[in-house]
């Protein structure tokens, strides 16, 4: 269950210390763009010590590392992979060859620390025009890739277009990311909504992202966590309807039928699959469970 992913800037001890108590399903300790260049080493040491001291047991833990075109990414992996975060989020991934470079380096660090190859999973951040064009290649480049993630601030800068709340400029990118991830059989996460004071805007943006098929969404403020969790949780109405679909199709199967109608709407295999996903999500939320 990874509805919301809360960014915690890696060089802010006061923010990191409460990070796992703010209701997000996943926290992202950031060593990249939230950290100024002259703070990279300090942030890496702080994040390493924070993960060792705090453990972050009650949430899923992601660490965002600097991109391959910086001098920092190997030091980031050397310090962080041995701590076994659930996910490493490499910034500005451009293609399958970037995933191969990261995969090989991570396997070396894992071996050095007696960890099986592939222990720490990847969630590549796609936030450049080249990365977007290669989205499926990135998503399917290695079993280590657990999901992909859209970064619209960098992407729109690269596309040379304005970033707007309505998001028309990233409609193609969002759709491309969802289809690439689902074709690769993995999850996909939406870019954060960046106006911390717009309580209506976050609800609208999160609901729209879910309607496109995203698995969840990043947030840059604890004030956005509840809205994103709610947007990515099935409503009671959806749960009740899913239960009716499953009951109706069970009855139809006993009568040897595959397609039926419920309240006049056709019900067949894909609708049943969606109902099963709804129930599974509702049970995961009720259980408070998280894949570790
Ligand atoms: C935006 C702002 C400065 C506003 O601060 P403000 O202080 O004005 O906010 P307030 O609402 O007044 O804070 C109320 C209380 O919450 C506390 N509080 C604030 N933020 C908190 C937080 N994140 N976690 C826990 N606690 C928090 C705060 O300390 C205060 O606590 P207290 O004083 O005790 O009341 C702040 O939120 C912030 O820094 N956010 C994280 C920014 C970040 O990580 N950016 C990088 C990731 S995106 C990116 O890189 C783009 C991307 O890569 C896409 C992608 O990758 O996704 C791409 O290319 O698209
Ligand atoms: Mg970015």
pLDDT (tens digit, 9 = 90+) per residue, 149-185?
999 999 999 999 999 999 999 999 999 999 999 999 9
The number of the ligand 1 atom at minimal distance from the alpha carbon of 191 is 57
60 and 84 share one domain: yes
State phi, psi for 255 to the nearest 5 degrees.
-95, 5
CA–CA distance from 268 to each of 30, 185, 190 (Å)?
A: 44, 22, 29
110 and 159 share one domain: yes
pLDDT at 287: 82
86 and 129 share one domain: yes
240 within a domain of the structure (yes/no): yes
124 within a domain of the structure (yes/no): yes
**Is pLDDT of 115 > 50?**
yes
Note the pLDDT tens digit of each residue in 175-223. Answer: 999 999 999 999 999 999 999 999 999 999 999 999 999 999 999 999 9
Rama region for 234: left / alpha / beta (φ>0; ψ in -120 to 50; rest): beta
250 and 153 share one domain: no
Neighbour count for residue 204 (Cβ, 10 Å): 16
Q: Whose CA is nearest to atom 56 of ligand 1?
A: 151
Question: Does the ipTM surpass 0.90?
Answer: yes
190 and 248 share one domain: no
123 and 41 share one domain: yes
38 and 94 share one domain: yes
228 and 240 share one domain: no
248 and 123 share one domain: no
Of 213, 232, 251, the position where a domain reaches its end is 232
Q: Which of 190, 249, 186, 244 is nearest to 214 (CA)?
A: 190
Q: CA-to-CA distance for 226 and 90, rounded, in angstroms?
A: 26
Helix 269-287 to helix 236-254 angle, to the nearest 10 degrees?
A: 130
Question: Which letter does DSSP use for residue 158 in this model?
Answer: H
249 within a domain of the structure (yes/no): yes
292 within a domain of the structure (yes/no): no
Domain count of the fold of the chain: 2
Instruction: Assign residue 74 the CATH number of its domain.
Output: 3.20.20.60
31 within a domain of the structure (yes/no): yes
State phi, psi for 65 to the nearest 5 degrees.
-105, 165
* 8 A C-beta contact, residue 145 and residue 116: no
Note the pLDDT tens digit of each residue in 213-270. Answer: 999 999 999 999 999 999 999 999 999 999 999 999 999 989 888 788 999 999 988 9
Q: CA-to-CA distance for 154 and 156, rounded, in angstroms?
A: 6
Q: Give distance in angstroms: CA of 36 to centre of ligand 2.
A: 13
Q: CA-to-CA distance for 213 and 182, rounded, in angstroms?
A: 9
206 within a domain of the structure (yes/no): yes
Ligand 1 in reach of 8 Cβ (< 6 A): yes
Ligand 1 in reach of 82 Cβ (< 6 A): no
pLDDT at 291: 44
User: Would you call 115 helix, strand, or coil by DSSP?
Assistant: coil
56 and 132 share one domain: yes
The number of the ligand 1 atom at minimal distance from the alpha carbon of 19 is 25
Ligand nearest to the CA of 155: 1
Ligand nearest to the CA of 89: 1
228 and 245 share one domain: no
- pLDDT bucket at 292, cuts 50 / 70 / 90: very low
Q: Which domain holds residue 283?
A: 236-287
190 and 221 share one domain: yes
Binding-site annotation, residues for substrate: 64, 127
Ligand nearest to the CA of 202: 1
């Amino acid at each position: 269950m990874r509805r919301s992913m809360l960014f915690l800037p890696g060089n802010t001890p006061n923010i990191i210390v409460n990070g796992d108590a703010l209701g997000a399903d996943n926290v992202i300790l950031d060593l990249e763009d939230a950290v100024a260049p002259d703070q990279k080493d300090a942030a890496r040491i702080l994040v390493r010590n924070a993960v060792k001291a705090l453990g972050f047991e009650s949430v899923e833990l992601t660490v965002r590392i600097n991109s391959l075109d910086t001098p920092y990414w190997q030091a980031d992996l050397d310090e962080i992979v041995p701590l076994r975060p659930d996910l490493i989020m490499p910034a500005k991934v451009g293609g399958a060859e970037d995933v191969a470079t990261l995969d090989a380096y991570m396997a070396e660090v894992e071996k050095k620390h007696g960890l099986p190859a592939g222990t720490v999973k990847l969630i590549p951040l796609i936030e450049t025009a080249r990365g977007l064009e290669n989205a499926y290649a990135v998503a399917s480049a290695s079993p280590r890739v657990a999901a992909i993630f859209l970064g619209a601030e960098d992407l729109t800068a690269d596309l040379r277009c304005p970033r707007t709340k309505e998001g028309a400029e990233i409609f193609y990118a969002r759709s491309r990311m969802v289809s690439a991830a689902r074709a690769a059989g993995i999850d996909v996460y939406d870019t954060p909504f960046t106006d911390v004071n717009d309580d209506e805007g976050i609800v609208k943006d999160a609901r729209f992202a879910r309607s496109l098929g995203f698995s969840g969404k990043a947030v840059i403020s604890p004030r956005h966590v509840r809205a994103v969790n709610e947007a990515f949780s099935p409503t009671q109405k959806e749960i009740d309807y899913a239960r009716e679909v499953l009951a109706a199709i069970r009855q139809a199967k006993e009568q040897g039928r595959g397609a039926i109608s419920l309240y006049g709407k056709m019900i067949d295999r894909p609708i049943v699959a969606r109902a099963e996903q709804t129930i599974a999500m509702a049970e995961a939320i009720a259980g408070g469970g998280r894949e570790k």
